[in-house]
Chains A and B, each alone.
Chain A
Amino acid sequence: MAQNLHTGAAAPDRERVVEAILDLLRSVLGADGSAVTEDAKLFDELGLDSTGVLDLMLQLEDALGIEFDTDNLQLEHFGSVRTLADYVMAETGE
């Protein structure tokens, strides 16, 4: 389970998570956010590579104020914006 660093803060809502992911894809990968859908494939369509995953993960933690349990992270969580958002929601939910 991810650790919420903001004591007492509510878990991020899904809309905010998706927006944070899209913002990061724009800055990390130079992706055109307006053209990216929730089903866009991060590796195949947006050019994420194995090194970029760690960078994306760390930036997502910064943006959302959470810390992932890296032992739980799997490749399939980085399949698309949707799978990544689902993972973040599951990790931060009660």
Chain B
Amino acid sequence: MPKLPPDFNSRLKTMVAGTPDASLVFLANFEVEEEWGRGEQRLPRFTADSGGALVTAMDEFAVLLAGPDDHVVLKTAPDGDYLGYLGDLGIALPALHVAAPYRRTATVTEAVLADPALLDRLAALGRAGCRLAPHGVSASEERLSERTGLPLIAPPAAVCRAVNSKIYSRRLADEAGIRQPPGWVCETVTELERALPDAAALLDKGHRLVIKEAYGVSGKGLAVLDSRQRLDRLHRMIAQRASRAGDERIAFVLERWVDKRADLNYQCTVGVDGVVHFDFVKRALTEKGVHKGHRMPADLSAAQHAVLAFAADAIGKKLAADGYFGVAGVDALVEPDGGIYPVIEINARNNMSTYQIRLQERFVGPGRWAMARHYPLRLDRPVGFAAVAGAVGDLLLGRPGGAGLLVNNFATVNAGAGGDGPFDGRLYGLLVADSVEELDDIDATIEARLAAMKGDGS
């Protein structure tokens, strides 16, 4: 096997496009699960309006995944001061292509598909040999590939959808002998009903259960059940909806809830030739069950690392055998006694962590610590990067080797604007420091400084 390049951008290109010199068109279509899960029965879930605008503004993360020879398509042009800041840090930026007109809650793929002039420009890139590298592939990204002639460096949408199902994750872990919580895949109401007696027995022993939509985004589309009454209620709800739809087909997994000390996220890249490369592991930070960010290094023992490396290799090989190649992220957890459950779910697409790799390579050296997170903002009106930078003050990272906050997505700050009254925004960034204590100090100070900002320009 030829030696793979150490940096992620070149390695990815070598593994999926056959050469480190490939020029890619990145497209960060976050929450592609919404498309994969279309037509499946869901648990009741409600998302505030700004959710769509905010999630689709996560497309800006791709700017820091791409290299200077790559391209990124976006819903909206990044803040000029923000791009200037990245340039001052010495980050060589890709060519940016912005869809017009701005469509607030459209996905980046929908926005690009609705812009004939941009489609023409992308077609020219296709003729020049560029290839399309989406966050994850659904029918929409296949349509974009067809419309522009940009070949996808990814398997077909049907393969991507299949391997991203939590049902696939459970079956893969069973086949590969990877430890996972006891549970059941439920592809029909009858299968769910068959699982109920054993599931109820777990509840009787004092365990909790979790039911998850097969295509739910991490932390969403799930319900924790702590009594037979709840289990029966969920069963009635699901059976009733299936009956009304005249289709007994469902897509859920039901499993024992596992107590944990920490959540982990690790990533491997699967080459077109089936080679599997372990990329990294990070410790996830969650708050009220919702993903907030990651800390790195993950602070694991060598034995814990080995368990994850073994699982990553088995997962990568199985994905390759099933026709998948590209990035695969895996959620895992550490039990209170230090034991590892290496597979909670497989996300065979880019993950939030994927977009931090290039920054880590450049700004987080050995022996240093980093925390990737977002700061929730409540704003009265849109704010520019200069105002946010002013609020963060001396804790804005200014140079490689320094400590502070490196903003890695600014579009999500103002994406929620456009309705009546105040709106919610998020400032995403990577905190870098020399110790966990310094990291936490910087984090707390920035949180306080941002909380004082309301978007009135002060």
Partner of A43, one of B48, B288, B289, B290: B48
Partner of A52, one of B51, B229, B288: B288
Q: Please state if A49 and B233 are interface contacts (CB–CB under 8 Å).
A: no
Partner of A51, one of B222, B233, B241, B424: B222
Per-position contact with A for B412-435: 1 when CB-CB < 8 Å, else 0? 000000000000100000000000
Q: Please state if A75 and B46 are interface contacts (CB–CB under 8 Å).
A: yes
Instruction: Tell me the nearest residue of chain B to A70, going by C-beta.
Output: B44
Measured CA separation A71–B236 after assembly (Å): 13
Of A7-15, A19-27, A57-65, A86-94, the one with at least 4 CB within 8 A of chain B? A57-65
Q: Please state if B233 and A67 are interface contacts (CB–CB under 8 Å).
A: yes
Q: CB of A2 within 8 A of chain B?
A: no
Q: CB of A36 within 8 A of chain B?
A: no
Q: CB of B205 within 8 A of chain A?
A: no
Q: Please state if A53 and B45 are interface contacts (CB–CB under 8 Å).
A: yes
Q: Please state if A51 and B44 are interface contacts (CB–CB under 8 Å).
A: no
Measured CA separation A74–B48 after assembly (Å): 11
Measured CA separation A55–B233 after assembly (Å): 12
Partner of A58, one of B51, B230, B289, B290: B230
Give the residues in chain B near A62, CB-CB below 8 Å. 229
Q: Please state if A61 and B233 are interface contacts (CB–CB under 8 Å).
A: yes
Give the residues in chain A near B48, CB-CB below 8 Å. 43, 75
Interface of A, secondary structure class, is helix
Measured CA separation A53–B45 after assembly (Å): 7
Instruction: Tell me the nearest residue of chain A to B46, going by C-beta.
Output: A75
Residue pairs across A and B with CB atoms within 8 Å: the count is 49
Measured CA separation A49–B48 after assembly (Å): 9
Partner of A57, one of B44, B219, B289, B290: B44
Give the residues in chain B near A47, CB-CB below 8 Å. 288
Instruction: Tell me the nearest residue of chain B to A75, going by C-beta.
Output: B46
Measured CA separation A47–B290 after assembly (Å): 12
Size of the chain B interface, CB-CB below 8 angstroms: 23
Instruction: Tell me the nearest residue of chain B to A76, going by C-beta.
Output: B46
Give the residues in chain A near B219, CB-CB below 8 Å. 51
Q: Please state if B45 and A50 are interface contacts (CB–CB under 8 Å).
A: yes
Give the residues in chain B near A74, CB-CB below 8 Å. 46
Measured CA separation A64–B222 after assembly (Å): 23
Instruction: Tell me the nearest residue of chain A to B290, going by C-beta.
Output: A49
Q: How far is the CB of B281 from chain A (nearest CB, A)?
A: 25
Q: Which B280-306 residues sit within 8 Å CB-CB of chain A?
A: 288-290
Measured CA separation A73–B288 after assembly (Å): 23
Instruction: Tell me the nearest residue of chain A to B421, going by C-beta.
Output: A44
Give the residues in chain B near A70, CB-CB below 8 Å. 44, 237, 241
Q: Please state if A78 and B46 are interface contacts (CB–CB under 8 Å).
A: yes
Measured CA separation A51–B222 after assembly (Å): 7
Measured CA separation A58–B237 after assembly (Å): 11
Measured CA separation A75–B230 after assembly (Å): 22
Q: How far is the CB of B289 from chain A (nearest CB, A)?
A: 6
Q: Please state if A75 and B47 are interface contacts (CB–CB under 8 Å).
A: yes
Instruction: Tell me the nearest residue of chain A to B221, going by C-beta.
Output: A51
Give the residues in chain A near B223, CB-CB below 8 Å. 51, 54-55, 58
Q: CB of B127 within 8 A of chain A?
A: no
Q: How far is the CB of B180 from chain A (nearest CB, A)?
A: 22
Q: Which B201-245 residues sit within 8 Å CB-CB of chain A?
A: 219-220, 222-224, 229-230, 233, 236-237, 241, 244
Instruction: Tell me the nearest residue of chain B to A51, going by C-beta.
Output: B289
Measured CA separation A86–B124 after assembly (Å): 57
Measured CA separation A71–B244 after assembly (Å): 10
Selected A-B contacts with CB under 8 Å, 10 pairs: A44-B424, A50-B46, A50-B51, A51-B45, A51-B219, A54-B45, A55-B224, A62-B229, A71-B244, A78-B46
The 5 residue pairs across chains A and B that have the minimum distance between CB atoms = A75-B46, A53-B46, A50-B47, A70-B44, A50-B45
Beyond A43-B48, A50-B46, A70-B44, list 20 extra A-B contacts (CB 8 Å): A44-B424, A49-B290, A50-B51, A50-B220, A51-B219, A51-B222, A51-B289, A52-B288, A53-B46, A54-B44, A54-B223, A55-B224, A58-B223, A58-B230, A61-B233, A62-B229, A67-B233, A70-B237, A75-B47, A78-B46
- A residues neighboring B (CB under 8 Å): 43-44, 47, 49-55, 57-58, 61-62, 67, 70-71, 73-75, 78
